[in-house]
Amino acid sequence: MITPILDPGKKEPLYEQLYEFIKEEIRSGRLGEGEKLPSKRTLAAYLRVSRSTVESAYSQLADEGYIRARERSGFYVRQAERKFARKQALPEQSPPDSPKRTYLYDLRTSGVDTEHFPFTVWARLSREVLSEYGQELLRATHPQGMERLRICISRYLYDFRRVEAEPEQIVIGAGTEYLLGLLIQLLGTEKRYAVEEPGYPRVHRILTNYGVKPAYIPVDEEGMRVEGLRQSGAQVVHVTPCHQFPTGAVLSAGRREALLQWAGEEEGRYILEDDYDSEFRFQGKPVPALQGMGAPEKVVYFYTFAKSLAPSLRIGYMVLPKSLMGAWREKFQGYSCSVPSFEQYTLCRFMEKGYYERHLNRMKTLYRGRQDALAEALDIPGFRLIGRDAGLHFMLEVTEESYDEEELVERAARAGVYLRGLGDYYASGAEQDGPPRLLIGYGAYDETRLREAARILRKAWEGE
């Protein structure tokens, strides 16, 4: 409906104001050629003017050729001078972070397979949920998310990750940006935070957007150096113990103990454990989460389904220590759960019926195959693979001095393969120490295509 401001106080009669308004709409292209105008009756009722006001405006527009009447159908715009002009005014920005050039292969760490998502099952469960729950889907869930889904998650966490989480400690939300944001609000921005370096650029971004300047804790092949954390004076640390991002290191047993001890020494210290792709572990025994190792009151556990299911679902959760639940409720009790009910019901059924576990097993086999294929194809003299234990990416370390990280990335890019060097993950601006290292994600392509990408890389790096 069109919404002019008609002012009876003006010297122009209402019909003329309406005529001028619609004319301007047509001339500017906001009302496009062939568009139907509201019926006189409808528009008069909507604008609270008499029907003759609309009639006069319409007939003047028709007289001047802006609109035309079609018998028993109504009035239509005749001539649009510019077509929906507003549309062109500001160019749409392409999704940031999307490659500036065109690439044959995007091997960044964010690549996830969505081809093998059991879409048929998901669609069937969605339909079941739609017909079984109906109206119920329109009601808001508990602020922490649907209880039944939290029970599923609690069970899963205990069985697979040894995380001790009552459903009452779980907060379901629309992804990490949202949940980590709530947590920062809960703990306060005046606390001192620390992040791993190299580490997750997104976590760094979330913290700095909250005005928090974190300390940077170095990482080596045993994961985060707890010694460095101790020296930093931080109270809250974000860590990826089961699969350090991006190096792929697993936090060693000694470091785990040291980290938990650090947390226990002072009130108000917390470990934010990000368990982002822990289910895809290919070598060695399962590595349980830090949260279940004896100090659940010191750990906030984060998980997102973005990697294990699909990035578009926007469901994640965090497990809060029981002692923080009171403060959480006080601050966020009036907030709505940020995930639509419909997604929650569907995911709940997906988990309850065992599809989630089956999907993970299937993906694990699939990703392991991809990793093997790519690792084999990238067995290049002068390069060494690191971090093959788990996850959807590994690191390629250059063992010969003759190469430079940026040059390797650039050569790959020129040959059509998008990947990143470890240097991109140093948020502090510090120089990276150690040899050049490249991060390679294998989640998004099948084995044949990965071998092809590897062939291109070899050619680009080794020369003809």
Of 231 and 336, CB closest to a copy of itself:
336
Smallest distance, a copy of itself to C-beta of residue 371, A:
17
* Residue 323 touches a copy of itself, criterion: CB under 8 A: no
CB of residue 97 to a copy of itself, shortest distance in Å: 6
The binder of a copy of itself chosen from 27, 78, 148, 162 (CB under 8 A):
162
Is 426 one of the binding residues for a copy of itself (CB under 8 A)? no
Does position 131 bind a copy of itself by CB under 8 A?
yes
For the bound state, the minimum distance from the C-beta of residue 166 to a copy of itself, rounded and expressed in Å, comes to 5
451 interacts with a copy of itself by CB under 8 A? no
Residues 90-109 that bind a copy of itself (CB under 8 A): 90-93, 95-97
- Interaction between residue 334 and a copy of itself (CB under 8 A): yes
| From candidates 11, 34, 70, 115, binder to a copy of itself by CB under 8 A | 115
Question: Is omega for the bond preceding 198 within 30 degrees of 0, making it cis?
Answer: yes
Cβ at position 98, least distance to a copy of itself in Å: 10
CA–CA dist 105, 443 (Å, integer): 12
Residue with tokens 């329109």: 138
- Candidates 152-160, 260-268, 384-392, 397-405; binding stretch for a copy of itself (CB under 8 A): 152-160
Q: Which of the stretches 136-144, 262-270, 417-425, 430-438 binds a copy of itself when contact is defined by CB under 8 A?
A: 136-144
- Of these, 111, 167, 199, 241, which contacts a copy of itself (CB under 8 A)? 167
**Which residues inside 393-412 make contact with a copy of itself, applying CB under 8 A?**
none
Window contacting a copy of itself (CB under 8 A); options: 3-11, 61-69, 239-247, 401-409: 3-11
Q: Does 3 bind a copy of itself (CB under 8 A)?
A: yes
Stretch that binds a copy of itself, among 234-242, 268-276, 280-288, 456-464 (CB under 8 A): 280-288
Site for a copy of itself (CB under 8 A): which residue of 43, 54, 107, 161?
A: 161
Nearer Cβ to a copy of itself (97/431): 97
Helix pair 355-377, 341-352: axis angle to 10 deg: 80
Closer to a copy of itself at the Cβ: 90 or 101?
A: 90
The interface with a copy of itself within residues 283-312 (CB under 8 A) comprises 284-286, 288, 306, 310-312
| Burial category of 81 from C-beta neighbours within 10 Å (exposed 0-12, middle 13-18, buried 19 and up) | exposed
Among 228, 341, 420, 450, binds a copy of itself (CB under 8 A): 341
Give the residue with the Cβ less far from a copy of itself, 223 or 436: 223
Instruction: Tell which positions 16-75 bind a copy of itself, by CB under 8 A.
Output: 30, 46-48
Q: Which of 52, 79, 185, 261 binds a copy of itself (CB under 8 A)?
A: 185
